[in-house]
Amino acid sequence: MKFKWWHGALIFALFWALLSPLASSSPDGLERVAEDKGFMEAAREAVFEVIPDYVMPGVGNEAVATILAGIIGTLMLFGIGYGVARVLKTKKG
Amino acid sequence: MHIPDGFVSAPVATVGCVVAAGCVAYAVRATNKKMGEKQIPLMGVLAAFIFAAQMLNFPVAGGTSGHFVGAALAAIFLGPWAGILVMTCVLVVQCLVFQDGGLFALGANIFNMGIVACFISYYVYRGASLFGGQKRGKLVGGGLTAWLSVVIASVACAFELAISGTIPLGIALPAMAGVHALIGIGEGAITAAVLSLIMATRVDLLELEKA
């Protein structure tokens, strides 16, 4: 198979997923505001959980679990984005 | 900036879902009309990259972190409608698989980080490019656009929190806009870096959105 530009782009995206354990675990902007202004406790637990907090359940090493979650999500989104676009291209309506 | 369930009231969440569903339905029709062969892998890699980059929270002042949103990047490459579709894919997967952003708040999150951020980005970027199409101008325009998209999305979020009765607008607005003005600097830097990489390698990919 010939190497196309988007193969490189996908590898680039996966490379970012590999860096995911380096992410800051501090609260994000909205969480910071919620903590400072005292409405954090209004947040409700998720109705169901699949891969909560970007950590693959059942994997002992947290960095590995995070990378796995990142790779799964990145590949999943490539597939969905590509698939949606393909369907929209073929089904001219 | 993913809103968890409980931060927005049932009416706000419902309106968010209805507006998001309507916009996404229209975006499907609009994208369907002008979809080209090159956009297919482009939508795939943009969704993949935006997801991966969103995981990398970077520290900003005072024990707070921020993360890339990517709406500006998506809208610059694909235009607002296809950009909204890419952002919707990312936000839906984050919500359903990774429990980032509440299930009932999904509409509000798509509204803020997808619809609002993509439209602001697209029109500001197009407006800025009228002042000169030089490479540096595009990078600066793209970066400023990305910064603005995050700040405006956070303002939309502040309004939703206020209308929900979670926190008064007078407190929510400066707090949300203030912290996201810092986080937006990261958004601008990442967006400009990716644009610069594309200009150096495949500049034609930036020319697809000329309709």
Q: What ipTM, to 2 d.p.?
A: 0.96
Q: How confident is the model at residue B61 (pLDDT cuts 50, 70, 90)?
A: confident
Domains and CATH numbers, chain B: 10-207 (1.10.1760.20)
- What percent of chain A stands above pLDDT 90? 90
Alpha-carbon gap: B24 to the closest alpha carbon of chain A (Å): 12
The C-alpha atoms of residue B174 and residue B158 are separated, in whole angstroms, by: 9
The C-alpha atoms of residue A70 and residue A56 are separated, in whole angstroms, by: 9
Alpha-carbon gap: B109 to the closest alpha carbon of chain A (Å): 12
pLDDT score of B62: 81
Which chain B residue's Cα is nearest to A75?
A: B48
pLDDT score of B143: 96
Q: How confident is the model at residue B135 (pLDDT cuts 50, 70, 90)?
A: confident
Do the Cβ atoms of A77 and B48 come closer than 8 Å?
A: yes
How many residue contacts between A and B have a Cβ separation below 8 Å? 203
Residues of chain A with pLDDT under 50: none
Q: Given a cut of 90, is residue B172 above it in pLDDT?
A: yes
Cross-chain Cβ contact A29/B59 below 8 Å: no
- pLDDT single digits (tens) B140-163: 999 999 999 999 999 999 999 999
pLDDT score of B210: 63
pTM of the model: 0.96
Alpha helix positions (H), chain B: 10-33, 39-55, 71-78, 80-96, 106-109, 117-129, 135-163, 169-201
pLDDT score of A93: 54
